Amino acid sequence: MRTLKQFMLLVMTMSLVSLSSCSKDDDGGSGGDAASGTLKAKINGSSWQSLEISSSATVANNGNNLIIIATNSDGKAFSMSVFGYEGEGTYEFTGATVGIFNTASYSETDVDLNNPQNSTTEIWQAPYDNLLAGTVSISDETDDNIKGTFEFTCKNVNGDQSVKTISEGSFNLEKQVQ
């Protein structure tokens, strides 16, 4: 009986040590290195950065939703939506989780200045199936700023079915609350 008590004490102690060794940084990541007010990423290995004037993070629906939008002058843009937002932590872009539908997209708009009605927009979205397509990690949130990192794979489901890999993504955005 004494051996069983000692064994249980050892198991409980090891469990406590392993659970207390986790930190909040593990959930939210490092925060990346995007300049203030911008979002940056690699699109199939090519670097891209947004303009400060057209980039924002909005916390809406009583703090339950996070919407990130970032564009620049070349017609390329990112959008991410996190439903069930709870602050710092990591959120998945997956179609496998019932009741949680976080999304990310990358788009390219080609404006025809001679005939604007002939302008085209292609959208690559994640998730596009039931698999994990990527994540967004919020590492730091203040009253007026949100920092984090992201990566995902997205597919042009309504177009040519091409897939793009978004990597090394980070943002440092002004936070708006609605």
pTM over 0.85? The answer is no
In a domain? residue 97? yes
- pLDDT tops 60 at residue 140: yes
The percent of residues in the chain predicted with pLDDT above 70, rounded, is 80
The predicted pLDDT at position 29 comes to 62
Within a domain: residue 85? yes
Task: Give CA–CA dist 155/49, Å, rounded.
Answer: 21
What's phi and psi for 119, nearest 5 deg? -65, 150
C-alpha 30/C-alpha 33 separation (Å) is: 9
How many domains does the chain divide into? Answer: 1
Residue 99, domain extent: 25-177
What was the pLDDT predicted at 27?
57
Long-range contact list for 156-159, CB < 8 A, 24+ apart? Answer: 156/122, 156/123, 156/124, 156/125, 157/125, 157/128, 158/123, 159/122, 159/123
Answer whether residue 13 is part of any domain: no
At residue 97, the pLDDT reads 67
Q: What is the mean pLDDT of residues 118-144?
A: 95
In a domain, 56, yes or no: yes
Q: Is the pLDDT of residue 24 over 60?
A: no
Residue 18 lies in a domain: no
pLDDT tens-digit profile of 59-116? 999 999 999 999 999 999 999 999 999 999 999 999 876 666 899 999 999 988 899 8
Please check whether residue 161 lies inside any domain of the structure: yes
How many residues are given for the chain? 178
Q: Quick check: is 17 in a domain?
A: no
- Which region among 28-37, 124-133, 157-166 has the lowest average model confidence (pLDDT)? 28-37
